[in-house]
Each structure stands twice: as C-alpha cells, then as structure tokens.
Amino acid sequence: MVPDVSRGNKTYGLLAYLYGPGRRDEHFDPHLVASWDGFAPDPGRDPNATLKQLEQALDLRVNQRGRRRLKNHVWHCPVSLDPDERLLTDEEWGEVARRVVAAAGIAEPGDPDGCRWIAVRHDPRHIHIMATIVRGDLRGARLHNDAQRAQDECREIEKELGLRQLNPGDKTAAKRPTSAEGHKAERLGRPEPMRLQLMDRVRQAVAGAADVAEFLGRLEAAGLLVRRKVGPSGDVLGYSVAHPDDRNAQDEPIFFSGSKLAPDLSLPRIRKRLSGAVGADLPGEAQVGDPGAGKARVPGSKAARARREAADAVDDATRTIEDGPDEDAAAQLVGAIEIIDVLAMRAPADTRAQLLAAARSFERASRSHVRAERADNRAVRTAARQLLSDGYAGNRGEDGGTVAMLLSALILLAIASARWHSARSHAQQAAAASAAAEQLRAAYATVAARPMAAMAAQGRSLPSPVRERQDAVIRAKLPEAQAAEHGGTDWDALAATLAEAEAAGHDPAALLEQARDRRELDTAESVTAVMVWRVRRIAKLSATPSAEPGKAGTRPKSAGPAAPAPAPRRRGRPGRS
C-alpha cells in the first residue's frame, strides 16, 4: 500500500479529475469512501450534489482567509495497492483514509478544527485523499514530513489488514522516473525512461575512474551531452548530462544533474569517492602473483588475469563486509557496484543484459546512511580499473572461465551484503542485494555452463584411483557439500580441479582447506561450484579444463587420462607451493 503525497493549487481541477472519466476512460463509479465529517456532498452518489458544492465546502476555510492565501493549498495523496493484493471494501478504504490523514497531520480524530478532506474511490485498487490545508482556526496545517509519516502509517496498516508488507525506505534511493517521463518513453517507443539509461551511463563512467576529469571525459566519450557548472574560481562544482535524442517541446536537450539521477552521483560525492587513488597504470606483468607462489605466471590473457585479481579483491571485500567495521563494509559495497558495472560494460552481449540488471539492483544496495567517506576501498576500485583497462573478454575459453570465477565471487558478495543490510534493518537494500545475487546467478549460469561441463566430463573420466582419492578429500574437507551434490556436475568438476592441482604439485587437501576458510560458504547454493573456482584461483590453474599438455585448453575434453598430465598452458608451468 503506497501513499504518494503531492500539493497543488486547484481544488476544482483535482475534483474534476477524480470524478471525471480519467485520462483513458479508466475511472469507474467515482464516489466518496470517507470525508472530514462523513457528510461531504458526494456528486458520485447523490444526484442533488454538485462538484461546485463539494469544492465550496472544501475551500470554505481557504476562502475565509481571503487574500492571505496559503501556497499550494490542495493536499493530494493517492493510496494504491499492488495488482495482486486482495481488494479492500469501501469501509476498509475509509479507515485507511482516516488513518493516513491523521498521521500526516491533516485532521486528527477529535480535533474540531482539523482540515477538510475527502477520500474518493474511482478504481478498485486505489483511493485519492484530497484535503485543503487551512484549518478551522484559519492556520495552515502542520505538515512537516507528512509524506514520510503517511508512509510509516501505511506500513502499520499493511500489517493490520494483512496486506503485503513493503520494505520501508531510508531516503537513500535513486529518484525514480516521473510518470510524465514514463508516458513520454511509451509515446516514443523507448523501452524505458531516459533517466534510467542516463543513470546507468553515469554509474558506468564513475566505475574505475581515476579522477573527475577522466569521469567527465568518459561521459562525453559515451556520446552524452555534458554541462559543467564552473565556479568563479574555475573549479568544476557540478555537472549535468543529457542524451542527445531526449528533447523537450522546444527541441532542447533535457539535462539531469548527477544528484537527480542518484544521491551518490552528485559531483561532490563522486569527487570524494575518487579521492582515494587507484592504480592508474595498467597492471604490469610482475604485479601478478602472490607470495606463496613466487613469480609464478597466471595463465590467460591480460583480461583474464584482471578478472582473477578482481575475484581476489571481491573475496577480500566479502570478508570485510562480514567482519569489518560498518564504514569499511559500506566502502566495499561502493567498490563492488563498480566491479559489476565494469563487468557489464566489458561483457559479451549474451550476458551484458543480465549483468546490467544485476548492477541496477545492486546499485540500490550500495547506498545507505552508513557512509564510507574515509574508508578504504582502493583494492576493489583498482581491480575495477584494471578490468576496465584490460579490454573486452569473450565468454569462451580462459576468458569465459575467469568471468565465471569472478561471478562466483560476486554472488557470495551480494549474499553477504544482503545479510549485512538486513542486520541493520536496511530493508530495501537487503532486498536489492538479494535480487542482485539472483541476477548474478543467472549470468553465472550462462557463463559457467560450458567450462563446468567440460570439467565435469574430465572429472568423470579420471582414472578411478585418482578419482577416489579426490572424492575422499572432498568428503573429508567439505562436510557441508551434501550427499545430494555427490555425483553432480559440480562435484565432478571439483574432483577434476583437485586432480589437476595435484598434478601441478599442490596438495589437494591443503588447497581445499585454504579455499574453504571463509564463513560465507554456508550461503552458497553449491559449495562445490564455489570451491572449483577458488581452488583454481589459489592454485593458479587455468580457468578452463586443461586439454592435451602443451595445447591451449579452450576445447572441452571428452575423455582421456588428463589428471596425471602436467599442468597446461602455453606460457609455462604454474609454480609449486
């Protein structure tokens, strides 16, 4: 049940709309369900009553104030229900209206001087509450924070009437497109209002940007019109963007300032976010690698390596979200949305839409009142920047495998953020993070299907002593991998992965131990799938199953004793630990 408070100055105009046919002839049987004293003239039911009479009655106190008019004296608040909710009776709607006007400060029960108001129903699923805000003592009603109070009251009413309970907001959501923007998009045959597209583009321009100049440059490079607001000092104080095709009646482009797109997209907020330096240079060859493996080379292209590193950064971020202080966790959420955005920009067409949807959901989860202004999210942002600068990656072979690797880590991060938010009663953000996890899973399913199937095939064709050894390790080290998973694709793939790691000189048990040292595992849908990618990352194995030794492993292998073969890759062997 959603109330939507607005103000206007035409009493008769609104009444004429409420009792009229509607914009598309959609109004049905307009009538009052409640009014200030229950005896307002109802032109819908009483043949002797007229709209004019109703207007005069509502406006009595407004006119009595004479020239000392109040600005926008008409208070208007439609209250609507979701299409799949049960219908309310007129009496229930009347009670809803009485409670909303009491909560908003229009008319409290028992106050003889309360404002005059009516509730009109012309549709089964919503009512319009309309009031004039001059009280009986000729003062204006006290309406501070009225919209929020109406919202809060509706949350209570939902509980009492057994309706679906909506997630209360905290005023950090992005501004939604107005209904006029929606109508315009429909008229012009656009899939969605321009505001949403601009928000995506601006978010993508921030992702991985090193400084404000680069950010604004990227906006222009994306084909948008950018207006800078320059102060007397010559500093850029703000910006607004417009799509060249989005014009108003005078054929001028319609600009949106950053803060109108989302609260954290204003220039000052972006500047704060970018103030922590990111590694602006391209990742050098020597940068890759970690202490355990010396100077070992990681297989794959630059893009693939950037994805591996991003996956590591995402895992660290997940740990911070779970255990770190609030501020640090919030910073990681901001970093994570940048990674998802960059991944969406650099993804092949078949997963781009899914990733963009995930980014749109997670965008809501990246903002709460826990601000992250001084906290450190350099690692994640640097990873995003490297992803960005290392170009496009396909969905096949090593590239596709590393995308799955990164997505597997991002899913866990999204789940961890959903938990983090719900523990802090950020209901909308928690719901958004869960939705993002779902969308990331969909993208993962697209990307991981091929490499997983190949690995599983490899796992099934392992020589039985090797296979039994790996099965035993998995059973011993991963008790949470339920029996149901045994024999499934993921289990086979994990066995193949461990066999491959063993062949490369790693100890499978130790690897598994190291990889499962994360608490969030119990939320994963398939523990073994997560472990496949972690083990491959830690052991620096190729993200796709190895083919014949010495050949690039882009081809799924159907049979053959692959396990004892030395680890693959054309650029040399993985290091020994």
Partner 1 sequence: MRLNEDEEAEIAAAASVRAVTVGRFIATSAISAARGYSTATDPQDRLDRAVDELVASRAQLARVGNNLNQLTFGLHAAGYVQPAELALTLGAVRKAVAVVDDTAAQLVNGGPLGP
Compute and round to an integer the Cα radius of gyration of the chain.
30
* Contact call for residue 56 and partner 1 (CB under 8 A): yes
* Contact call for residue 266 and partner 1 (CB under 8 A): no
Query: Site for partner 1 (CB under 8 A): how many residues?
Result: 19
The Cα 135–Cα 368 span in angstroms is: 37
CB of 66 to partner 1, least distance (A): 8
**Which residues, other chains included, contact 216 with Cβ-Cβ below 8 Å and sequence gap of 6+?**
205, 226, 228, 236, 239
* Contact call for residue 111 and partner 1 (CB under 8 A): no
Q: Of 53, 257, 266, 422, which one interacts with partner 1 (CB under 8 A)?
A: 53
* Long-range contacts formed by 182-188: CB under 8 A, 24+ apart: none
Q: Of 76, 123, 136, 260, which one interacts with partner 1 (CB under 8 A)?
A: 136
The Cα 475–Cα 306 span in angstroms is: 32
Mark 137-176 with x for binding to partner 1 (rule: CB under 8 A) and - for no binding. Answer: xxx-------------------------------------
- Residue 494 contacts residue 531 (beta carbons within 8 Å): yes
Q: Considering beta carbons, is residue 40 or 304 the nearer one to partner 1?
A: 40
Q: Considering beta carbons, is residue 91 or 480 the nearer one to partner 1?
A: 91
The Cα 267–Cα 70 span in angstroms is: 36
**Which residues, other chains included, contact 524 with Cβ-Cβ below 8 Å and sequence gap of 6+?**
411, 412, 415, 530
* Contact call for residue 41 and partner 1 (CB under 8 A): yes
Q: Of 7, 31, 49, 158, which one interacts with partner 1 (CB under 8 A)?
A: 49
Strand 256-257 with 6-8, pairing: unpaired
DSSP string, 416-459: HHHHHHHHTT-HHHHHHHHHHHHHHHHHHHHHHHHHHHHHHHHH
The tokens of 573 are what?
A: 């062997």
* Contact call for residue 109 and partner 1 (CB under 8 A): no
* Contact call for residue 95 and partner 1 (CB under 8 A): no
Q: Of 47, 110, 112, 162, which one interacts with partner 1 (CB under 8 A)?
A: 112
Q: Of 8, 16, 20, 63, which one interacts with partner 1 (CB under 8 A)?
A: 63
The tokens of 17 are what?
A: 């709309």
The Cα 549–Cα 567 span in angstroms is: 7
Q: Of 37, 252, 480, 548, which one interacts with partner 1 (CB under 8 A)?
A: 37
Q: Of 23, 24, 26, 38, which one interacts with partner 1 (CB under 8 A)?
A: 38
CB of 57 to partner 1, least distance (A): 5
* Contact call for residue 60 and partner 1 (CB under 8 A): yes
Site residues (vs partner 1, CB under 8 A):
37-39, 41, 46, 48-49, 53, 56-57, 60, 63-64, 66, 112, 136-139
